[in-house]
Copies of this chain bind each other. A is one copy, B any other.
């Protein structure tokens, strides 16, 4: 690890942390953040030293409280600041004299409300002391493995009924990193991913990004072994040239999906009044993303769907997609969306069609199954039929990726079709995504099982098509930059065990 990365790593894995503004008053950000660290320390996930700092309290949750940072004895690596904006510079000076490496400023009240001078002041202090700053006006860091958790949004809420319910969940450890300019959207993303049982490696919200910005975070995550795919929410991008250079490097080895808000004129205006972002023309962002291999999602759902696909499946080597279905209508819906996105649903080769015909002759496929593309094995589908057909399309060198629409409703289809398909898929390095439609037990179970077996599953044919599109686009970028082979080798080597 080079020194710059080492220093950034302290945000995620500090040997010692002080929370300035820690308090016993519940619902206060300073309480929630300190409590997160304290609980994770007791659980053994957070292994660093922990110091609450607050001149008005003696003990917080059993930890001795320090009136000032300078009263802490021994080394201090990371300072999390949760006090009013105007006293932040003083805290920063204290941190500098303690030789802290990094600062996270959760507090708002800086550039985003026009207080640029105050923001410049803290940047100057940090620069002089060689400290790196995350924020201000941010949610900081959540690391699913080290127990660093600066999210001041309480994990649960109490309803008027007295029931305690999950409100801002922390997702399980996983492969996807979230880098976000909007804290609110960031926690919403955690809520979404937790509910969908998608794991997260690291979460970082950089708010006003007065110092550490998206380019540096991408570079850091390139070297993070836990992260396989990066979800990036931005409203603007600072230091564009540097961003382009870094993103180009990163996306050769890790896919980046971006949700760039403010894509319309009114949206850009709203972004400007949100974070003061001077977003520039949206076309420029399109060009930057295309040039750097960043996949741009058109909305929230595509953002998550693409991230999941890229974390779980290798990219596609071309844009010919084969669709397998037991439901004609949804098959057409998938074709439509594939075509609309520029993927190709071409007629299968004669060789492949002959294989299907043979299956029909042997009574292993329904006589009236259509086999041009999609293969529609009809409502008489069985698990075996899905297995046969999947094998044939994986063997077809003209097909670059598979969309599996195994709607569970057909009477003869048994749950083991999921395992059979996953077993076949595990022998090839061609991507496959799945879809089952429905929001009750069997549909949820089906998608969950596919996900667990490493095949990303979606709830609509169009979502599945868009996920495949991400795999195709990423493959196309890698091919162009001659990194495809290397990436796929590496991906398969590190493929999650299922």
Q: A residues engaging B (CB < 8 A)?
A: 27, 29, 32, 108, 112-113, 152-154, 157, 159-160, 165-169, 180-185, 187-189, 191-196, 233, 235, 259, 261-267, 269-271, 273-275, 299-301, 326-333, 335-340, 344-345, 368, 370, 372-374, 376, 379, 407-412, 414-416, 437-445, 459-463
From known contacts A264-B335, A339-B265, infer whether A273 and B372 are also in contact, taking CB-CB under 8 Å. yes
Query: For residue A465, which residue of chain B has the nearest CB?
Result: B299
Whether A410 lies near B332 (C-beta < 8 A) is no
The contact of A300 among B182, B335, B444, B461, by CB within 8 Å, is B461
Whether B416 lies near A160 (C-beta < 8 A) is yes
**Cα separation A300 to B192 with both chains bound (whole Å):** 20
A-B contacts, 23 of them at CB < 8 A, read A27-B412, A108-B368, A113-B368, A168-B409, A182-B330, A183-B379, A188-B407, A188-B409, A191-B409, A191-B438, A194-B439, A233-B329, A235-B329, A264-B340, A266-B335, A266-B345, A267-B332, A270-B332, A274-B329, A300-B461, A300-B462, A301-B301, A301-B462
Query: For residue A344, which residue of chain B has the nearest CB?
Result: B266
**Cα separation A153 to B463 with both chains bound (whole Å):** 25
**Cα separation A370 to B113 with both chains bound (whole Å):** 10
From known contacts A415-B160, A460-B299, infer whether A440 and B181 are also in contact, taking CB-CB under 8 Å. no
Whether B411 lies near A300 (C-beta < 8 A) is no
What are the nearest 10 A-B pairs in CB distance? A195-B439, A182-B329, A191-B438, A184-B327, A188-B437, A185-B329, A264-B339, A267-B336, A274-B328, A165-B441
Whether B327 lies near A192 (C-beta < 8 A) is no
State the oligomeric state as a number of copies.
Answer: 2
Given A166-B442, A188-B438, A233-B329, 19 new contacts (CB under 8 A): A27-B412, A32-B411, A157-B442, A159-B445, A160-B416, A165-B441, A181-B329, A182-B328, A185-B330, A185-B333, A189-B437, A191-B409, A196-B439, A266-B336, A266-B339, A266-B344, A270-B328, A273-B370, A300-B333
Residues of B with C-beta under 8 A to A182: 327-330
The contact of A185 among B196, B327, B416, by CB within 8 Å, is B327
Query: For residue A282, which residue of chain B has the nearest CB?
Result: B336
Distance in angstroms from A330 CB to nearest chain B CB is 6
Whether B267 lies near A330 (C-beta < 8 A) is no
**Cα separation A169 to B438 with both chains bound (whole Å):** 9
**Cα separation A122 to B414 with both chains bound (whole Å):** 35
**Cα separation A331 to B261 with both chains bound (whole Å):** 9
**Cα separation A376 to B269 with both chains bound (whole Å):** 13
Whether B196 lies near A154 (C-beta < 8 A) is no
Residues of B with C-beta under 8 A to A196: 439
Whether B329 lies near A194 (C-beta < 8 A) is no
Residues of B with C-beta under 8 A to A267: 332-333, 335-336, 339
